[in-house]
Amino acid sequence: MTVFSLESPHLQLTCDSQAAAFHLESRAHPGAQLLGAQMLVRYRRQGRTHQALQVWAPASQGEMEVIDSLHGTATQRSLVIGPDSNGLALTLTFALPVQMPALLWKMRLENRGKAPLTIDRVTLLQTGFISTAPEARPAPGYRTGRLRLGAKTGQLGFFSNGWQSWAHSGSYSMFERFRRSRLGPFSNPMRVNAGTPQPGDTGHFASDMFAVLGDRTYRRGVLLGFLSQNQHFGSLEAYLDPFNPGLRLWANGDGARLDPGASQETDWAYLQFIHLDEPQPLSGYLQAVARQVGLDSPALRQPPPGWCSWYHYFQKISTEIIETNLQAAVDLRAELPLELFQIDDGFEAQVGDWFEFQPAFAQGVAPLARLIRARGFTPGLWLAPFIVHPDSKLARSHPDWLLRNRWGRPANAGFVWNRFTQALDLTHPEAAEYTRQVISTAVEQWGFPYLKLDFLYAAALPGRYQDATRTRAQVLRGALQDLRAAAGAETLLLGCGCPLGSAIGIMDAMRISADVSPDWHPVFNGQRWLFKAEPDMPCARNAIHNTLTRLPLHQQWWVNDPDCLLVRAESNLTLPEVHSLATAIALSGGLLLVSDDLAALSADRRRILASMLPGLPGAARAVDWFDQPTPTRLQFDLSGAAGKWQLLTLFNWADQPASLQLQPAEFQLPPAKTYLARNFWDGTHYTINEAGLVFENIPAHGCLLLAVRPFKHGPLYLGSDLHISQGLEISRWQLEDNGVRLGLQRPALSTGSLDLLLPAEPQRASLDGTPVAWQAVGEQVYRFAVSFDQHAELEVGW
């Protein structure tokens, strides 16, 4: 017996009470369908585990309504099932928005019985799973469901999103294994959502909040996730069996107690069939999430470029080190216009004891904030309000504020600062009040309008919360809202080590990667090979990886923080590795903070940083986001006074030099027979025809950053070494008889050269009236040397 169906221009939904399942059919993607998707609730009553929703009875359906939702007009219908013998009544609500090609659905749980229930897992979608996990075994007589992405099936892939900032995110093929840490209790409490499995078998993957299961051959996929993480952390699991892929989406109940008379509702679940090669395949979902949490994207504030103490000094900072770097920033300002000056970890007496300072900060940090401001910079400060060092006074004086595990011991917040750390229980009113005081003191008394708030996952560890009715997601969301309220609306907040979904609409900026470090691969206490495969330990490789896999989040949920740029020659990074780091950071469009000893940087290393100012307007897209473990191909479409052009990046992630092939057809370029390309990092020019071009001998971990323009007869601007965009430095382009006049714009003193394709050999060239030198660097390509402060006009005649 069919209970009901709902339709939109994009999808058709049928709820089938007999099968206790729903069916979904795509109208835009022929053959894309989901048949027999199940829902399940696993809960406990007086210690015994029960499963609800194996049958949809007794059921009563509501009327179909046309509603005005946050996502526009939608048709919506509900189904009330139960109560079952334990008094659990469930309301399933389905909505199909007219303008959005997605299904939205959620579940409300109400305890109409006499005994409290504890909710373990609310599965909103399960299809194809026949594994032996208890929640996966279909009850006898029930189908396992079937997912199809199109008429034919090729090689499947999966895009996994990590729980928090540092957690590995990226695509897998069906022949790979999920990348997980081997460090167990040292690392997992930090990076892994306690409710998300870490599968070890081939083709078996997990994800947090959202994921894409797709077909790499036929380029279709299904995007599945939640529109918010306000009520529960959402987890996903997939099994890439091409005959019947398994896919599961659930809300983690965390064993939160549902008292008699109380109810709980999941965040909205979201399902959309997508084309993998759309320019922005995730944007419909990402924007729906922003609407759902009330984020007004034009309100996004981009923190200015600046300096951070961590990746050169780590915890060994002092008042003097901060002052010395500040003075260097002042001295270099004419060429390096940094604006933000951020003090990281190392000033506090102990993590947890935020009102006491290290001897090297005898006067605290307020005088530094004043000094930074007096020098014309914005002062920033690092704080980690939810995590507690076991040696802190706080841990000793307020043991009742600490989150406890089931044995009554402080819950493990991961191995940091060479100790197993602990965490506050933010359902304890005094602990919550303490975190608010830390924030308001830093903003109001010490004078920091910019805070980097770190280790925020520590508010959402599994444990015995004082308020046992709240889920971990509710605790974290509430704690983050508290921090925002204490900081005030004006304060810029950068989240770090933060479960992503909980922070949308609260944080201005968000770290989306593991920490960078002065090493390409992870190192710990001099040990390399043991840690080489660790997916999210600090190192340049891991920072770059997530910077590239989380490009689409930028300016949809917040300003992405790809972590700091390190340009110093004294690190263990090769110059090609520094170029790759700079390229990834610049093309992310996100935060730009340098973390070196500023006074010690050589002029050529400073140039790398200077060329990245100002930041690019938005993020590049990774063309092979669904096809490579780490994306290798980026595209950034740009336009300005010098016309329209594309920045294309090719990375060599191999540990040896390699040849890289560029084929115009891989990218969405304006059609042309021939393209001209200039590599930013060495100024080499290339001509690329339809068949493509092979670039020989790209160094290990290095890249090409090409400005690509369709060939035409000159004059044509080809790029420069002044700005990484190779074109935004041009403010005016005026053709004259046998000549061209260019306006140059930079935020600072600039010296370098720019390249023009000209119809004839130049006869004269001058910068603001003073003759400049040129040389031929290719067929009809001439390089002009320029040096100016912020603005200049270059006049070239032939």
Q: Which is nearer to ligand 9PG, 281 or 535 (CB)?
A: 535
- Residue (337 or 495) nearer to ligand 9PG, CB: 495
Q: Closer to ligand 9PG at the Cβ: 310 or 448?
A: 310
Distance (Å, whole) CA 428 – CA 412: 18
Torsions phi, psi for 53 (to 5 deg): 85, 15
Nearer to ligand 9PG, 166 or 774 (CB): 166
Query: Does 496 contact ligand 9PG by CB under 6 A?
Result: yes
Rg of the chain taking only CA atoms, in angstroms: 28
Candidate residues 208, 254, 345, 729; the one interacting with ligand 9PG per rule CB under 6 A: 345
**Burial class for 198, CB neighbours closer than 10 Å (0-12, 13-18, 19+):** middle
User: Packing angle between helix 575-588 and helix 603-610, nearest 10 degrees?
Assistant: 20
Q: Which is nearer to ligand 9PG, 190 or 650 (CB)?
A: 190
Q: Does 534 bind ligand 9PG (CB under 6 A)?
A: no
Q: Which strand (E) or helix (H) includes residue 502? A: helix 500-503
* 658: its two tokens: 């390699």
Binding characters for ligand 9PG, 172-201, by CB under 6 A (x = yes): ------------------x-----------
Q: What is the three-state SS of 378-442?
A: EEEEEECCCEECCCCHHHHHCHHHECECCCCCECCCCEECCEECEEECCCCHHHHHHHHHHHHHH
* 627 contributes a contact to ligand 9PG by CB under 6 A: no
φ, ψ of residue 14 to 5 degrees: the values are -130, 130
The CB-of-357 to ligand 9PG minimum distance in angstroms stands at 16
**Taken in order 621, 624, 629, 632, is the CA torsion positive or negative?**
negative
Query: Rounded to the nearest whole angstrom, what is the least distance from the CB of residue 235 to ligand 9PG in the complex?
Result: 22
Q: Which of these, 437, 167, 305, lies nearest to 724 by C-alpha position?
A: 305
Distance CA(423)–CA(682), nearest Å, equals 49
Residue 585 as a binder of ligand 9PG (CB under 6 A): the answer is: no
Binding of ligand 9PG by 515 (CB under 6 A): yes
341 binds ligand 9PG (CB under 6 A): no
Contact 227, 104 (CB under 8 A): yes
What is the pattern of x (binds ligand 9PG, CB under 6 A) and - over residues 152-171? --------------x-----
| Per CB under 6 A, 344 contacts ligand 9PG | yes
496 vs 553 by CB, closer to ligand 9PG: 496
SS3 336: coil
**Residue 310 binds ligand 9PG (CB under 6 A):** yes
Of the two residues 186 and 733, which places its CB atom closer to ligand 9PG in the complex? 186
**Total residues at interface with ligand 9PG (CB under 6 A):** 12
Q: Which of 254, 454, 577, 755 binds ligand 9PG (CB under 6 A)?
A: 454
- Residue 618: how many other CB atoms lie within 10 Å: 16
In the numeric block, the tokens 């892929």 are attached to: 245
* Interacting positions 369-428 with ligand 9PG (CB under 6 A): 382, 416
Cα angle vertex 99, ends 95, 103, to 5°? 30
Nearer to ligand 9PG, 365 or 708 (CB): 365
Going across the sheet that includes 593-594, the strands are: 559-561, 509-511, 492-495, 450-453, 378-383, 340-343, 306-308, 593-594
Min dist CB 540 to ligand 9PG, Å, is 13
Nearer to ligand 9PG, 511 or 701 (CB): 511
User: Any contact of residue 268 with ligand 9PG (CB under 6 A)?
Assistant: no
Q: Is 517 exposed, middle or buried (0-12, 13-18, 19+ CB in 10 A)?
A: buried
Q: Name the β-bridge partners of 634.
A: 622, 649
Nearer to ligand 9PG, 227 or 496 (CB): 496
Rounded to a whole number of angstroms, the minimum distance from the CB of residue 612 to ligand 9PG is 19
Query: Residue 594 or 767: which CB sits closer to ligand 9PG?
Result: 594
Minimum distance of ligand 9PG from residue 352's CB (angstroms): 13
Binding site for ligand 9PG (CB under 6 A): 166, 190, 310, 344-345, 382, 416, 454, 496-497, 515, 538
